[in-house]
Structure 1
Amino acid sequence: MNQHGVRPVSAGEWEKVKELRLSALRDPAAPVAFLESIVEAESQPDEFWQGRTARASSGRAARQFVAEAPDGSWDGSVTVLVEEGGTVDYFGEVVEKAQGHLVGVFVRPGQRGTGLTGALFAAALEWAWSLEGPALGRVRLFVHEDNGRAEAFYRRYGFVASGRIVVGTPSDPEARELEYVLERPAVGS
């Protein structure tokens, strides 16, 4: 049985944020799971990690959630980025209406299959759907075409392929990233 609590990070926890991210980038699945490389992340100064954590701990723009074990260690994470209507997204396209974008999905190998990813997604989506002014109409994520395990989880969780495919990432100009979306639930659902 899973004993983890899921909660947002606080600004002072940048060292744990950094450690978990570096662990994620060392994972064998990292090349098809993340756009950032371990070399890039390890070269960042402490100020980078402090700023990243502060931005993901308050306000509307982003929120990072972690799965915390009873001993205080972190075994997983997901971040929600808010893409406001009229802004340009990471891939250079204009966002029509405010939406969430899930990134940085990671669960340590020993905890996979225990329900942690689902618990992280539940917390992230609860936060995303709670936002007002304007409310988010959907949440999306991208998955590399060769990351079948992640793609299967996203489908089971209710995400649907939109048909949008983005070709090229910083590390692989031929990579194909598939967009999956989850529409905002109807009120009362």
Structure 2
Amino acid sequence: MGIIMNYYLIGVENKSESIVANAPADTKLAHELVFEINEEELPFSLNLFKVSMTKKGLVESEDFTESENPWLDYLPNSLVWPLMSIKLKNVIANNLIGNEGIEWVKAKVYLKNEPRDYFIPRFNKKMDVLNQNKTKYVPGTDQIIKPSFSSSKISNYSIFHKPTMFWKITNEIYISEKIKKNIEENGLTGMTFEETSVSA
């Protein structure tokens, strides 16, 4: 029996003061857009805001003068999609095994008048990665409560998605230990890592 490797779910850091890239107000909901985005670049841009919790509730601002660098490598956004800097994209791209079937969609993000390119990974195939016997489902449905991944299946990938309805572009992305270490070694920002269940 081989060694079972660790894989991690990428998450967004929770802070009292958040940086968020907002899509235009008239943008369709993310799940409606997932199967419409077939180009190499989003047909709209996003704008960067600082969101703070105050006594009056949530307040949006474009004033970053007293903030840390707002250009996080894993950037929270109103679509709840994995929005990655060029540095993070390169770390992942340089560690792909070749079976992942990832394409990159460019997204233009503006801070006032300053644009930067970010990238969204889009999967072109639905992956068979679950250990069906150990994955927990909502009784009588195929809705996953807690996934358990098959070590033999995911050994073919350095990054993969949970096989949900909207798998092409999803915030539920899992990465290998090697990619996690590369991210940490490069000091990339905006992410948390949650170890996931992997079984034989």
TM-score class, shorter-chain normalisation, is under 0.3
Kindly name which structure, 1 or 2, has the bigger radius of gyration based on alpha carbons.
Answer: 2
- TM-score in terms of structure 1 length: 0.24
- TM-score in terms of structure 2 length: 0.23
Task: For CA contacts below 8 A with separation 6 or more, give which structure has more relative contact order.
Answer: 2
